[in-house]
Amino acid sequence: MGKLNHFFNLLIINRCVICGNILTEQTQSYAVCSECELKQIRKNKHSCSVCGYPLISEAVKCIRCRDIDVNYISNRSLFLYSGDIQELLYQYKFKNRKNLSFYFAKYLSEIISLYYPESIIVPVPGRKIVKKNKGWEHIDLIANILKIKYKLPVQKILIRKGKKAQKTLSREERAENLQKNVRKKKKIKNLPKNVVLIDDVFTTGTTINECAGILKKAGVEKIFSLTIAID
């Protein structure tokens, strides 16, 4: 049975997560074939100056960002959280497709080098219980790849306690949960002037805003946000 499971695992790993086609040697490490990869590239469109959500009008801000104050300058997202991207994130976070971390890191590295060359990358901290149960945490793993493979400056400044997942909470509950459980690491004294927070999905913006608020209070001058997808 062990050999049979190993055989089926090899079949899964060597096939594109989206279409199921066999991957080439060049695309195996990303778990997505070249054709599907091209389909996911987000076209540059007019978007909200705060959260980055695509706009159909000529307005500067979307409805949800017009009446709120935020601690970050702006958010930029690689993709919209729908269709294949939603499935990719699901496979990555909940089905242990760890090689998708290289796929996401590739695009994040390009945007960071282009738009945030003077900023230090700070990953939004995940819950310790996730890393304890799985042995890895999805944003932490991507941050490591950005540092090791792409030689980008990464500093893990924030730490998170608590066991509640943000997706199960309302906007108000998310803010309260983060205020109680996210902290700056005490041992880190010299903070960078410019920071780009990275996370998986920008939904209400509460997570990014609370993390940015902690960094701002600690003395960081400019804080940007970069997420894989926006909902």
Tell me which residue of 214, 50, 30 sits closest to 122, measured CA to CA: 214
Q: Is 103 helix (H, G, I), strand (E, B) or coil?
A: helix
Query: What are the C-alpha distances in Å from 1 to residues 4, 11, 12, 228, 231?
Result: 5, 16, 17, 37, 41
Q: Mean pLDDT for each consecutive 10-residue tract of the chain (231 residues)?
A: 43 75 78 83 79 90 91 95 93 91 94 96 90 90 96 96 59 63 89 97 93 96 97 92
Q: What is the pLDDT of residue 43?
A: 57
3-state helix, strand, coil in the chain (%, to 5): 40, 15, 40
Token pair 């054709």 is found at: 35
Residue type, 29: S
Q: What is the pLDDT of residue 6?
A: 41
In order of their start, the domains of the chain are 1-40 (no CATH), 47-230 (3.40.50)
Tell me which residue of 197, 187, 206 sits closest to 225, measured CA to CA: 197
Rounded to whole angstroms, how far apart are CA atoms 141 and 100? 10
Q: What is the pLDDT of residue 26?
A: 67
Structural element, H or E, at residue 34 = helix 34-40
Q: What is the pLDDT of residue 175?
A: 59
pTM (two decimals): 0.85
Q: What is the pLDDT of residue 57?
A: 84
